[in-house]
Amino acid sequence: MNIDFSLILVIAVFITGTIWLLDKLIVNRGKKPDDIKNDPKTGIGSVWTMLTDFSRFLFPVVFIVLLLRGFIAEPFRIPSGSMLPTLDIGDFILVNKFSYGIRLPAWNKKIIDIGTPKRGDVIVFRYPDDPSIDYIKRVVGVPGDKVAYYNKVLYINGKRMPQGKGTVYRPGYDYIVRKSENLSGDVHDILDNKMYPARDFVITVPKHRYFVMGDNRDNSRDSRYWGFVPDKNLVGHAMIVWFNWELGDWPRWTRIGTVIN
Q: How far apart are CA 76 and CA 47, in angstroms?
A: 38
Per-domain residue ranges of the chain: 5-72, 78-163+199-255
Mean pLDDT of the chain: 92
259 compared with 51, residue with greater pLDDT: 259
Question: What average pLDDT does the segment 244-257 reach?
Answer: 93
Percent of the chain with pLDDT over 70: 92
Residues 137, 152, 220, 223: which is the catalytic one? Answer: 137
| pLDDT reading at 1 higher than 60 | no
Q: How far apart are CA 20 and CA 27, in angstroms?
A: 10
Residues 6, 55, 82, 220: which is the catalytic one? Answer: 82
Classify residue 195 by burial, with Cβ atoms within 10 Å: 0-12, 13-18, 19+.
exposed
72 in Cβ contact with 98 (< 8 Å): yes
Summarised one tens digit per residue, pLDDT across range 82-104 is 999 999 999 999 999 999 999 99
Q: Give Cβ neighbours of residue 241 (< 8 Å, ≥ 6 apart).
A: 87, 91, 92, 93, 255, 256, 257, 258, 260
Summarised one tens digit per residue, pLDDT across range 93-134 is 999 999 999 999 988 999 999 999 999 999 999 999 999 999
- Active-site residue, 97 included: no
State residue 49's pLDDT score. Answer: 80
State residue 215's pLDDT score. Answer: 99
Domain spanning 78-163+199-255: which CATH class is it, in words? mainly beta
The model carries a pTM of 0.90
Summarised one tens digit per residue, pLDDT across range 27-64 is 666 555 555 554 555 555 577 788 888 999 999 999 99
Which one, of 148, 144, 173, lies nearest residue 159 by Cα?
148
- Active-site residue, 137 included: yes
Confidence of residue 20 (pLDDT cuts 50, 70, 90): confident
